Amino acid sequence: ISLLVIAAVLSVIGLSIFLLSQGLSTLSFSLILCLSLFLSPLPSEVEIIYKSRDGNVMKADLQTNQTELLMKNITFATFKASKFAVSPDLNYVLLTYDIKKIYRYSFLASYLIYNLLTREVHELNPPEVSDSVLQFASWGVQGQQLIYIFENNIYYQSDVKSSSLRLTSSGRDGLVFNGIPDWLYEEEVLHSSVAHWWSPEGSSLAFLTINDTLVPNMLLPQFTGALYPQGVHYPYPKFGQVNPTVKLSVVSLDGSSYTKELLPPSSLKKSEYYISMVRWVTEEYVAVRWLNRAQNTSILSLCYIHTGECVRKHVMTSDKWIDQQNEEPVFSKDGTTFFMTLPIKHGNRGSFRHITMMSEQEPGSEVNIRHLTSGSWEVTKILAYDESLNTVTVDPFHRECLTCSLFKPHCSYYDASLSSDSQAVLLHCAGTPHYFTVIPTCTVCPKPVALHSFRCVLYMCVRRHTNKRLFFLSFFSDSTPGGQQVSDRFRLDWDSVLVSSDNVIVARLDGRGSGFQGQKNLQEVHKRLGVVDVQDQLVALEYLQKQPYIDGSRIGVLGKAYGGFLSSILLLSHGSLFRCGVAMAPVSDWRLYERAWLSTDGLHILLIQARNQSFETRAGKTFISKCSYTSTVFL
């Protein structure tokens, strides 16, 4: 196998659970699991639910290190189920079957409720409806609470045997969405199929109502095997068009269905805005992040659910755009102190995101801000705040890594979640495996490449003694502003196919505009999309082309969506460099692209169209005519 990637990892998925001492100074090993699926964060302080490699649903006790079988794997085959969720009281399992994908995260499906004690099964259906197809269904946070969404309306059951209560009635197919996002919010704002949030004790539910009535529709042909295709309509606000309206409400689950709308900041009431984050702080207060249309002003509010009034806690502005829009602040139990990451200036290297503590001395008073970390590195996520110590002690120059010494040779990328009392942490190893094989004919060596004002390291895995053999280079131009192509996170994708079967070297790059390297690097592409990022990719390609094991006459470039736009520009401006190119769903005309993404870069669309006389013309005429004689081009 020959391989050239900026980060190459081979892994199995594993979970490790560690018990933390009060001072977080020691770690006691509790349990390691190798499994195919784990069920979210720790549901309690002492237990987790997971699906084992052989398909059984198991319960693990962290204190006794014992596991218990809850449901055999044959149950999935019997009911043709592919997803599962166990009720909080561990008496029932919600089985999902007949899944039909909608967008990136959302799907339609049917649901069964399986009794773990009696093995009885019954369908989950709205009142007076049989064999229903639901848009969403899930357990609540207490007992057997259930919520499901049918025909864009929210239904609630206090337990599996109680009758359903419809919480909303405004839902309209393709127009008004309650508790679930429309295409825009799912893809570009929330990055999720869920637009509702349970209160900590399950007494209330916060949810978005998204109204697409005034949003123009896209019409896509759907080929179903019939003589003529069917047209599928969905709201799609392009640049300069109307956005969906959105409101946030809280409904009581005590049987009254009393609903209260939470009011946006006065500065946004008469303008278009987004709601990018909702998080319960206490049973009566909700934290909400509001964004203006240009996404360069962010307002974090704390809302009282009984009156709907919201108080500003933090306002952030930028002359470019604001990233990390979905970040959830970590609050103290009384809501008076919270932690989030904010850009902190670090010399001439620009600003980097670091932990900031905000607290108020009196209700309604100004928030005191204290920066807890600093440096030319970024905090990507704040996991928890242990309030039992009543103090926060952070030395930014002497950070303590809780996982670095654990299986150090075996895992280089962790996801983590903590139990509600912060005494146990679940580590999900998404990087190098616990068990792996080193191929002796493969060497790994870092190669620094200077890209303007910063350096990029390429990690190359190339077969020894290959000086007489030249390899095809496939350059993936898939990065989007704020994205990350280079990490130790394990993934199986087209890269893996190419390097394992076709003697292809694959290269990926995080240049200017990529995330997690500071605000200066991230916002280099502001109003210069397709300019500085293309320049960086050309520098990397020129370096790679000079390597003795790469056939300089056989270089290909591939990109999707924004990456397709970049690969198209590379082929157009330097077509002689490439043997072939693939542009999947490329941006061919910025006027046709959805406006939420475009807003993050302000008026760059006007600059691009003025300079290029619209990329549509280039892609449709000049692009094909110029490339087709020297390269193979796939659009």
* pLDDT for the residue numbered 344: 93
Q: Please state the separation of Cα 570 from the chain's center in Å.
A: 28
* pLDDT for the residue numbered 616: 46
DSSP string computed for 43-100: SSSSEEEEEETTS-EEEEETTTTEEEEEE-THHHHHTTEEEEEE-TTSSEEEEEEEEE
- When mean pLDDT is compared across 197-201, 434-438, 475-479, the lowest value belongs to 434-438
* pLDDT for the residue numbered 589: 78
From CA 356, how far away is CA 372, in angstroms rounded?
6
Does residue 434 surpass a pLDDT of 90? no
CB under 8 Å, gap of 24 or more: what pairs does 99-107 form? 100/133, 103/183, 103/186, 103/187, 103/193, 104/186, 104/187, 105/186, 105/191, 105/192, 105/193, 106/135, 106/180, 106/181, 106/186, 106/193, 107/193
Is the model more confident about 631 or about 552? 552
pLDDT tens per residue, range 250-290: 999 998 889 999 999 999 988 999 999 999 999 999 999 99
Is the model more confident about 609 or about 477? 477
What SS3 class is residue 421? coil
* pLDDT for the residue numbered 83: 95
pLDDT tens per residue, range 159-202: 999 999 999 999 999 999 999 999 999 999 999 999 999 999 99
What SS3 class is residue 185? helix
Query: Is the CB of residue 246 less than 8 Å from the CB of residue 274?
Result: yes
* pLDDT for the residue numbered 409: 58
Is the model more confident about 409 or about 340? 340
Mean pLDDT of 558-571: 89
Residue (of 35, 37, 33) closest to 17 by Cα position: 33
What SS3 class is residue 239? coil
- When mean pLDDT is compared across 432-446, 483-497, 546-560, the lowest value belongs to 432-446
| pLDDT category of residue 387 using cuts at 50, 70 and 90 | confident
* pLDDT for the residue numbered 439: 38
pLDDT tens per residue, range 7-21: 222 223 345 544 444
Question: Among residues of the chain, what percentage have pLDDT more than 70?
Answer: 76
| pLDDT category of residue 1 using cuts at 50, 70 and 90 | very low
Mean pLDDT of 218-238: 87
Domains, the chain, ordered by start: 13-78+405-432 (no CATH), 83-262 (2.140.10.30), 442-634 (3.40.50.1820)
Does residue 420 surpass a pLDDT of 80? no
> Helices marked H in 595-634 — which ranges?
595-599, 604-612, 615-617, 624-627
From CA 255, how far away is CA 250, in angstroms rounded?
14
Average pLDDT, the chain: 80
Is the model more confident about 28 or about 132? 132
Does residue 625 surpass a pLDDT of 60? no
* pLDDT for the residue numbered 435: 41
| pLDDT category of residue 32 using cuts at 50, 70 and 90 | low
Question: pTM to 2 decimals?
Answer: 0.85
| pLDDT category of residue 465 using cuts at 50, 70 and 90 | very low
